[in-house]
Amino acid sequence: MHSEASTVLTRIVPTTIDGVNVYPTNAAVLALEPTQEYQWDTVHLPTSWPLNIYYVELWDAYNKPIAGHQATKLISHSIDISDIDASLTPSLRVVIFQPAQTLAPPSDYAVDILYHSYPNTHLFILFSLAVALLLILLVWSTKQKKQLPYLLTAVSSLLHGQFISPYLAVVSTVIFAGMFGAILGSFIGGIQIVYVLIKLPFLMGAALVISFTTLLMLSWLTGVKATVKEIWTVALNLLAITALGLCSLSTILLFYIIYPLNHDQVLIATILFFIGSGLLALLSLYRWQRKLILPVVWLIVYGLVFMQLGWLLRPWVGVIDPVHGSVPIARANSGNVFSELVHTIERIQSP
């Protein structure tokens, strides 16, 4: 994939914090576009600066130290920053600390920060998949529209642990997952409500489409005696049960948003709600086939696909882009969901 290398030129503006001489640069900001992926690369400091004297630190848009780049002794004029997720940290500052009883850095205060950008093929693939699923759903709906008057009865059946038709399961998933998505989007409000309302049902359906072949084969290997159609119907019903569980938790989520909790806390709460709703669905799966290994296998396969696809479709809770002043429908791709979960928990635990 062709990568375009670019440089952000920043300049250090000396200042004093708590009586200590500090040399921070102005912020280097990436104007993230969803059609592009971005990767931080290297910080280039002036070669005239002596080494092993000063300390260097990287700050985010909120002037908080970036994990893994707290104050360390300057031992090279080039600093590798490729580990910093550009989609989560599109703005950073280089900060030089001058130890007591040392000379100030030379006056050539220009600092170059290199990054790479390249086309976001992941977003194109997801968009194509979304269009395909929508067309399939529209065609299917024209043949199944007579079932719609029975939607309330179908919901009642789900609440009583009974499976419903595939079409009504899909409609229930779209409605109830959409309601939960709209509440989640209200953390930021505005167009983010519409974004998440649309993205969440798509995420649940797309994750099933991607993982279904694996789920089918593993179900047969674990001794499930059912046809492809029967397993597909069960899978759609599990999505509907999950969506119904999420919808029932919407009022609690809204309470957390109004309370208010911060972004990371709402994100963790949302993940816990998904886990709880998913476990309800897996309980129904176990009731269908009394095989304990089956829910475990489905949880692992579908869960892994769901989590990474959700990462590609972020933001969900939403963080306002410091450049555009808004929340995009999708962020540039970088990193993965597992490392970000670890970082989120670390941020929550830090004072």
Q: What is the pLDDT of residues 228-237, one digit of tens each?
A: 999 999 999 9
Please state, in angstroms and rounded to a whole number, the distance separating the CA atoms of residues 329 and 34.
8
Q: Tell me what pLDDT residue 282 has.
A: 93
Mean pLDDT value across residues 166-195: 89
Q: Which of 22-36, 194-208, 325-339 shows the lowest per-residue confidence on average (mean pLDDT)?
A: 325-339
Q: Tell me what pLDDT residue 37 has.
A: 79
Q: Is the pLDDT of residue 242 over 90?
A: yes
Q: Tell me what pLDDT residue 332 has.
A: 64
Q: Which of 206-210, 247-251, 304-308, 338-342 shows the lowest per-residue confidence on average (mean pLDDT)?
A: 338-342
Query: Pairing between strand 72-73 and 78-80?
Result: unpaired
Q: What is the pLDDT of residues 37-89, one digit of tens each?
A: 788 899 999 888 888 998 999 988 878 888 888 888 989 999 999 888 787 78
Q: Tell me what pLDDT residue 278 has.
A: 92
Query: Which tokens go with 293?
Result: 């290994």
Q: Which residue has the tokens 């492809």?
A: 228
Q: Which pLDDT band holds residue 130 (cuts at 50, 70, 90)? A: confident
Mean pLDDT value across residues 252-264: 84
Rounded to the nearest 10 degrees, how much is the dihedral formed by the CA atoms of 41, 340, 185, 190?
Answer: -20
Which are the contacts of 80, defined by CB distance < 8 A and separation ≥ 6?
A: 41, 42
Q: Tell me what pLDDT residue 211 has.
A: 93
Q: Tell me what pLDDT residue 324 has.
A: 61
Q: Would you say 126 and 209 are in contact if contact means Cβ atoms under 8 Å apart?
A: no
* DSSP-assigned letter for residue 323: T
Q: Which of 90-99, 176-185, 310-319 shows the lowest per-residue confidence on average (mean pLDDT)?
A: 310-319
Mean pLDDT value across residues 9-17: 84
Q: Is the pLDDT of residue 291 over 60?
A: yes
Q: Which of 21-30, 54-63, 100-109 shows the lowest per-residue confidence on average (mean pLDDT)?
A: 100-109
SS3 at position 324: coil
Please state, in angstroms and rounded to a whole number, the distance separating the CA atoms of residues 240 and 201.
10
Q: What is the DSSP string of 299-322?
A: HHHHHHHHHHHHHHT--SS----T
Q: Which pLDDT band holds residue 325 (cuts at 50, 70, 90)? A: low
Query: Which tokens go with 304?
Result: 């892994």
Q: Is the pLDDT of residue 186 over 80?
A: yes
Q: Would you say 218 and 293 are in contact if contact means Cβ atoms under 8 Å apart?
A: no
* Among 62, 35, 50, CA closest to 330: 35
Q: Would you say 303 and 215 are in contact if contact means Cβ atoms under 8 Å apart?
A: no
* Among 94, 116, 96, CA closest to 30: 116
* DSSP-assigned letter for residue 66: P
Q: What global pTM score does this model have?
A: 0.69
Q: Which pLDDT band holds residue 277 (cuts at 50, 70, 90)? A: very high
Average pLDDT over all residues of the chain: 84
Q: Tell me what pLDDT residue 323 has.
A: 61
